[in-house]
Amino acid sequence: MGSDSRGHPISSESDEAVAAVNSAIQHLVGRRAAFTPSINEAKTYDPECVMAQVLSGLMACGLRKEGGLAAAREAYAIASAQRPRVTPRERLYIDVLEASIARDAVRVVQGLEAVLDTHPTDLLASVMVQGELFWTGEMQRSEAISARCDAHWSSDVDGHADWLALRAFDLEEIGQLDAAERCGRQCVEQDPDNLWGAHAVAHVLEMRGDSAGGIRWLDQLKQGWDAGGPMKFHLWWHRALCHIEEGEHDAALDIHDQWLRNAQQPIQQALPDFYLDVQNGASNLVRLELQGVDPGERWHALGDAVEPSWDDLSNPFTTLHVAMVLAATEQWDRFGELLRAVILYARSEQSVLSDAYRDAPSVIRAIGAHRAGDYQQVVDQAADLRQAFWRFGGSHAQRDVLFQILFDAARRCKDDALMQHIGADLERIGFVDPLQRVAYRPVA
């Protein structure tokens, strides 16, 4: 029996497996690409190590694709067979994996909260619970959980910089921008290569509308991102938002080509339809188009990327971005099929996930109508759902693209009242002076 670097037991006879599990946790928390090799190493040293299998299974579920679940079930079968031989905390993790395979976010969160009740510095559980609640749009609850654990953290606990990054993002999403910025900057002072800390501060600057500050912030840190996984591309997406705000459209297009959708990037080669990359790419192009920029052939590369999984209904926010891709590439038959599949899924299933899809059909119709130039239809479909966008998951900055599409339609329909209402909505969400932003100016 060994332990992670915060003293949480890892049941295994193999010291090498324990060390590899600990490395895998650190890489996962740090959003680094080395997570996958570390976990494979741990399973090689000890195939029956529960935490190695749990991490492997959770990683497969974390792809947020139906296709990832087979590997997750395999990991669960091995881990659950070891249940009598491991600690109560590890048994909770086995339950979390089971719930994750069942895509039951409620049980996943309950299990991770139970881990944190007795092990408040279990950084893996904190990161997993934040990720889960992020995709169900429940960041208030995420912040409440991290607030409870916070008293147990200090600079003496290994991973303190990662903890500060986690707290910073929770605080940012609930609108406590000053506290979030303090935490995020403190994290990056301790660990300049910390992707999640850089990300939290980028969100703060985005909410404040400080695009010049966002570019400076990300520019000074970018040399530390080489070891990053897909999160590094998301940081470049944040930078592209700043350039769009500054009117530097060519810079946003260059970022798109180099970082957001580039077949030469090994990570994107291995997983061309990874959900975050699909979201980043589609969101960037829609925002550029709303500024009058012609993205040329770029939509087609995204069309190719979503080819293997365009009809996968594992994540509502991704599905909305897939709808943007299908509409932009004029795959209207598929667009219609996707819409029908979402309607059927939301009606026929009774689950946390299908519930999250409940309002997706109207927003998908609005996305299609916007592409087809039927702006009144966009307003009719999506205007009344503004308060429900959070249910699709994602951050305020990410969901902003939905408000931008709706605002553009309202402007073209000369619906001044709706434009004002959207501005008020965005202000309540936490955006500072939203109507001063390029996407929300009353005259395009």
Query: Where do contacts with Fe ion occur on this chain (CB under 5 A)?
Result: 395
Identify residue 4 by its one-letter amino acid code. Answer: D
Amino acid at the residue 384: D
**Residue closer to Fe ion (CB basis): 31 or 89:** 31
**Residue 416 CB neighbour total at 10 angstroms:** 11
Query: Least distance in Å: CB of 200 to Fe ion?
Result: 9
Of 100 and 280, CB closest to Fe ion:
280
Q: Judged by CB, which is closer to Fe ion: 134, or 375?
A: 134
- Phi and psi angles of residue 389, each rounded to the nearest 5 degrees, phi first: -60, -30
Distance of closest approach, residue 135 Cβ to Fe ion, in angstroms: 13
Cβ closest to Fe ion, residue 201 vs residue 305 = 201
Instruction: Find the residue with minimal CB distance to Fe ion.
Output: 395
DSSP 3: E
Q: What is the rounded distance in angstroms from the CA atom of residue 266 to the CA atom of residue 120?
A: 36
SS3 26: helix
Q: Please, which residue, 91 or 238, has the CB nearer to Fe ion?
A: 238
Least Å from the CB of residue 235 to Fe ion: 8
C-alpha 341: how far from its chain's center? 23
In the complex with Fe ion, which residue's Cβ is closer, 319 or 395?
Answer: 395
Which whole-number Å values give the CA distances from 70 to 39, 114, 284, 443, in the listed order?
17, 26, 32, 51
Dist CA 166 CA 30 (whole Å): 10
Q: Are 268 and 262 in contact (CB under 8 A)?
A: yes
Query: In the complex, what is the shortest distance from the CB of residue 177 to Fe ion, in angstroms, rounded to a whole number?
Result: 14
Indicate the residue among 19 and 242 with the shorter CB distance to Fe ion: 242
Which helix (H) or strand (E) segment holds residue 115: the answer is: helix 105-118
Closer Cβ to Fe ion, 218 or 356, answer by number? 218
Residue 282 structure tokens: 């589609």
CB of 444 vs Fe ion, minimal distance in Å: 26
Q: What is the DSSP string of 409-439?
A: HHHHTT-HHHHHHHHHHHHHHT-SSGGGSGG
Smallest distance, Fe ion to C-beta of residue 238, A: 6
Least separation in angstroms between residue 225's CB and Fe ion is 14
| Nearest distance from C-beta of residue 237 to Fe ion, angstroms | 7
Q: Which two tokens stand for residue 401?
A: 């693209």
Torsion sign across C-alpha atoms 2, 48, 51, 18: positive
**What is the CB neighbour count within 10 angstroms for residue 118?**
10
Please name which of 392, 370, 387, 216 lies closest in space to residue 320, comparing C-alpha atoms.
392
